[in-house]
């Protein structure tokens, strides 16, 4: 029996969540994983690179079919501030 966060899951679901968990660590602090050339970029270029990383994060999680609680919370906060 395979369990993930106390729930019985299939091998596919387990693998999907393991990959997602690993990638979340990467996306939580992408600057750490950039090579030395990133430091040579201007602030504007670095900001655009980080924006592209963020877009990849969204695409990857949609591909994996994993909902992001963190992003859902941010969207909820943004909606609250709009009122």
Tens of pLDDT, residues 34-51: 999 999 999 999 999 999
Selected residue with higher pLDDT from 25 and 40: 40
Res 56: pLDDT? 87
Task: Look over the chain and give the mean of its residue pLDDT values, rounded to a whole number.
Answer: 81
Res 82: pLDDT? 52
Res 69: pLDDT? 56
Torsion of CA 16, 74, 57, 29, to 10 degrees: -100
Res 10: pLDDT? 93
Give the list of residues 6+ apart from residue 1 with CB closer than 8 angstroms, or none.
Answer: 8
């Amino acid at each position: 029996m395979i369990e993930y966060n106390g729930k019985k899951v299939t091998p596919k679901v387990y693998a999907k969540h393991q990959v997602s968990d690993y990638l979340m660590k990467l996306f939580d602090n992408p600057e750490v994983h950039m090579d030395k050339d990133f430091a040579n970029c201007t602030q504007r270029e670095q900001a655009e690179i980080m924006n592209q990383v963020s877009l990849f994060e969204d695409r990857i999680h949609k591909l994996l079919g994993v909902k992001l609680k963190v992003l859902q919370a941010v969207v909820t906060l943004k909606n609250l501030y709009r009122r």
